[in-house]
Amino acid sequence: MQNIQDKVVVITGASSGLGEAAARLLAAEGAKLVLGARRLDRLQALAAELNLGDSAAVETDVTDFEQVKVLVDHAVATHGRIDVILNNAGLMPHSLLERGKVEDWDRMIDVNLKGTLYGIGAALPHMTRQKSGHIINVSSVAGHKVRQTSAVYAATKTAVRVISEGLRMEMKPHNVRVTVISPGAVESELADSITEPDVKKNIDAFYEANAIPASTFANMVAFAMSQPADVDINEILFRPTSQEL
């Protein structure tokens, strides 16, 4: 893994799952991390375990732009720059549309879509000024394929892909790279956000049969980050070998 040492990386949703796995790998490769999530106690424990220092954990709700801005600005104030933001925070409360789970719909739009936009919005002023940077957004296989119960989740993840492509084109004059990563079934706490017991039972069974370790996602992040400055990895779509959908 090249070009990771000393990079300043902000990760949202870093207290568990994919974000935590990415933090562990990037810390091992010498990145300077600033971690954001709502669960400050878990963030602080992870930062302590990885010897990141007291300033590496910032309580952050990605549905609040000001909190995301504080997270990113804190990274710049601490380290003098931001090289990468990994917009990873997300949730997946699948349900049938006919059940009218409006609160779940709103949460997915607020976290998965607005949260990604807020991360982009907070990082861009710094990256365009630096004339360098890398924005990594997390979509999903659901951003490529829709299944029953996943319509709203798939819509938010499709939107992340579309926003990432628009951003990629806009950032060419500023030398900012853009990557969207679309995982399949990877071990995380995503299924814990499902509020419908019958849907959760099915998704849990699917993950139990197919899910691969979160470290797999971390490897994809590191691969995109480690490319030479003149190489922009725009999209990574990966699944467990056993996953048909």
Whole-model pTM: value is 0.95
Question: What's the mean pLDDT when you consider all of the chain?
Answer: 96
Higher local confidence (pLDDT), 179 or 190 = 179
pLDDT number for residue 189: 85
Nearest alpha carbon to residue 221 among 94, 121, 73, 86: 86
Residue 62 lies in a domain: yes
Query: Quick one: what percent of the chain has pLDDT higher than 70?
Result: 100
Under a CB-based contact definition with an 8 Å cutoff, are residues 84 and 138 in contact?
no
Under a CB-based contact definition with an 8 Å cutoff, are residues 139 and 181 in contact?
yes
pLDDT number for residue 2: 82
pLDDT number for residue 245: 85
Confidence of residue 1 (pLDDT cuts 50, 70, 90): low
> Is residue 207 flagged as an active site residue?
no
> Can you tell me the distance from the alpha carbon of 193 to that of 25, in angstroms, rounded to the nearest whole number?
25
Residue 242 lies in a domain: no
Under a CB-based contact definition with an 8 Å cutoff, are residues 143 and 154 in contact?
yes
- Please compute the mean of the pLDDT values over residues 183-194 and round it to a whole number: 90
Q: Return the CATH number at 184.
A: 3.40.50.720
Q: Which residues pair with 136 in a beta bridge?
A: 86, 179
Nearest alpha carbon to residue 161 among 140, 186, 190: 140
Residue 142 lies in a domain: yes
Q: Does position 140 have pLDDT exceeding 90, yes or no?
A: yes
Confidence of residue 50 (pLDDT cuts 50, 70, 90): very high
Residue 95 lies in a domain: yes
- Please compute the mean of the pLDDT values over residues 209-228 and round it to a whole number: 97
Residue 2 lies in a domain: no
- Please compute the mean of the pLDDT values over residues 226-230 and round it to a whole number: 94
pLDDT tens per residue, range 62-78? 999 999 999 999 999 99
pLDDT number for residue 32: 97
pLDDT number for residue 190: 83
Residue 108 lies in a domain: yes
pLDDT tens per residue, range 74-85? 999 999 999 999
- Within the chain, residue ranges assigned H as helices are 17-28, 40-49, 65-79, 102-108, 115-130, 151-170, 197-210, 214-225
Q: Please count the structural domains in the chain.
A: 1
pLDDT number for residue 121: 98
pLDDT tens per residue, range 160-171? 999 999 999 999
Residue 99 lies in a domain: yes
Nearest alpha carbon to residue 143 among 231, 239, 15: 239
- Tell me which residue range forms the domain holding 48: 8-235
Residue 244 lies in a domain: no
Token pair, residue 149, equals 């119960």
Q: Does position 54 have pLDDT exceeding 90, yes or no?
A: no
**From 114, 153, 154, 199, active-site residue:** 153
- Please compute the mean of the pLDDT values over residues 29-53 and round it to a whole number: 95
Confidence of residue 215 (pLDDT cuts 50, 70, 90): very high
Nearest alpha carbon to residue 165 among 135, 141, 145: 135
The set of residues, in sequence order, having a beta carbon less than 8 Å from that of 194 and lying 6+ positions away, is 92, 93, 94, 95, 200, 203
